[in-house]
Amino acid sequence: MFKDYQQNQEQLLPKSLSDSVSSDHTARLINQVIDEMDLSFILNQYSPLGQKAYDPRMLFKVLVYAYTIGIRSSRKIADRLNEDVVFMWLSGRSTPDFRTIADFRKDKLADVKKTFVEVLGLCRKLGMIRIGKVAIDGTKFRSDSNGNKTQYRKTLNKRKESIEEQVDDIFREADEVDRQEEKLYGDSTEHRIKGLDLRQVARELAKLKKRKASLEKKRGKLEAKKDDINLKLRKMRKDRNTMSSTDKDATLMMMKEGHIASGYNAQFATEHQVILGYGLTSDRNDFKQLKPAVKEVEANTGKKPEIVIADAGYGRKMNYRYLKSERITAFIPYGQFNKEMAERRKGIYANNPDRELARYKFTQCVRLLSEEGKKMMKRRREDVEPVIGDIKRNMNFRTFNLRGKPKCLVELGLISLGHNLKKIKSYLKKATKWDNGNQTVEKLGAILGYQPA
């Protein structure tokens, strides 16, 4: 009636871990790709002296695979190394503790983008991308900071004004103490205190000196607070109005879920759902990020996009002008595009005193209302938006684990690297299905020595 069930069944020969990991498993692809990578930027950080360290390649493989399947906690990764057969195989049964994993991620991966660019080169060799039609979009991720510890420029300025007023009051009070001391003591001690109780004079002078010392101490504390506020304002920079005290690079932003939280604005440039470039900024708005995104794609691939597709958040004159100067065709609606199109159908036309902007708007109207334009905007929804959805939902990445922009960029690099490796895996499966395992699989095998089941 039931299949045999024995928990204590033993084997004459122990089963190899490799036998438990399917030949087309994502971990095998990650293992082989990283084995072919140039990781000198990590290896050169180690010294031959002292106790032997865990193999950096092993740690990097484990981290990339963990991020790919949505595990980012160093403690959870350490647990998987003892419990999960795939992690055991990938690590060769090595069991670094959570602190080793966390320190490796925090201290050794500043140049992780080099590995991202290598994988991007692999995608190009496979024919997955050609840097033609590039879609750009941004999304918000929460920072690893306490929202209750956010500093506001307005609040800091008010606090600074209050401190300055208190310091002025202290100076006035100190002047009053000096006057009282002068009145009591005078310039000539001998004739002014004649007939007075010397002990009373001494007591009064002691009180005034004590009061003066207290005022000086209070002023010193207030000046220190003022210096601290000035330092915070300098760190906040002129283009920001908030700063988290736990992650000074993060700022308050409206998240996708509709609430305000401390975080970063991440930018992605994609083609065929492969990430070509990524970036991170504290700026809430997207429109200043288009030029850096295009330059990032060119730096990573050695080629400028032919067409750039983006939403209305990037629709500014500066971006239209830049793309025109670079001879890149833009499919980017301006902010009021949908509203103006609806009004035009009613015979209402907007007045555009800015003639240059009016020309760009006219160009975008012609492009976006054409059949090609409609296809391009549909392509944007099917290209970059699913990538962001995959990262947030399937890879479970909504909050950074590290603090500070440089370290958060490392995490974003690991996520982008993991996503592209998953796209290679998906491409391989589709190619195997479509080509009966012939041309495309042989091409991949020539690059990686990898053959799917």
Q: What local confidence, expressed as pLDDT, does residue 359 receive?
A: 66
Single residue among 212, 241, 270 that ends a domain in this structure: 241
Inside any domain, residue 71: yes
Residues 320 and 302 in one domain: yes
Residues 289 and 275 in one domain: yes
Residues 167 and 206 in one domain: yes
Residues 62 and 169 in one domain: no
Residue 392 has pLDDT above 90, yes or no: yes
Inside any domain, residue 429: no
Q: What local confidence, expressed as pLDDT, does residue 57 receive?
A: 96
Q: How confident is the model at residue 16 (pLDDT cuts 50, 70, 90)?
A: confident
Residues 267 and 390 in one domain: yes
Q: For position 285, which CATH number holds?
A: 3.30.420
SS3 270: strand
Q: How confident is the model at residue 284 (pLDDT cuts 50, 70, 90)?
A: confident
Residue 256 has pLDDT above 80, yes or no: no
Single residue among 214, 241, 268 that ends a domain in this structure: 241
Residues 283 and 181 in one domain: no
Residue 3 has φ and ψ, to the nearest 5°, of -70, 150
Residue 449 has pLDDT above 60, yes or no: no
Q: What local confidence, expressed as pLDDT, does residue 428 receive?
A: 84
Residue 316 has φ and ψ, to the nearest 5°, of -130, 155
Return mean pLDDT, the chain.
81
Inside any domain, residue 135: yes
Residue 10 has pLDDT above 80, yes or no: no
Residues 134 and 266 in one domain: yes
Inside any domain, residue 426: no
Residues 341 and 234 in one domain: no
Residues 384 and 274 in one domain: yes
Inside any domain, residue 414: no
Per the model's pLDDT, the better-predicted residue between 104 and 18 turns out to be 104
Residue 15 has pLDDT above 80, yes or no: no
Q: Are the beta carbons of 77 and 68 closer than 8 angstroms?
A: no
> Using one digit for the tens of pLDDT, what is the confidence trace for 105-144?
999 999 999 999 999 999 999 999 999 999 999 999 999 8
- Mean pLDDT for 50-65 is 94
CA distance 449 to 303: 28
Inside any domain, residue 334: yes
Q: Are the beta carbons of 132 and 431 closer than 8 angstroms?
A: no
Q: What local confidence, expressed as pLDDT, does residue 97 receive?
A: 95
> Using one digit for the tens of pLDDT, what is the confidence trace for 352-379?
655 566 666 657 676 777 888 888 888 8
3-state DSSP helix/strand/coil % of the chain, to nearest 5:
60, 10, 30
> Using one digit for the tens of pLDDT, what is the confidence trace for 402-428?
999 999 999 999 999 999 999 999 888
- Mean pLDDT for 240-252 is 73
Q: How confident is the model at residue 397 (pLDDT cuts 50, 70, 90)?
A: very high
Residue 99 has pLDDT above 80, yes or no: yes
Enclosing domain of residue 98: 17-109
Q: Are the beta carbons of 334 and 312 closer than 8 angstroms?
A: yes
Of the listed ranges 240-244, 401-405, 449-453, the least confidently predicted one is: 449-453
Residue 189 has pLDDT above 60, yes or no: no
Residue 337 has pLDDT above 60, yes or no: no
Inside any domain, residue 221: yes
Inside any domain, residue 158: yes
SS3 92: coil
Q: With the CA atoms of 296, 300, 303 and 307 taken in that order, what torsion angle do they form, in degrees rounded to the nearest 10?
A: -50
Residues 102 and 212 in one domain: no
- As for how many domains the chain has, the answer is 3
Residues 393 and 258 in one domain: yes
Residues 138 and 198 in one domain: no
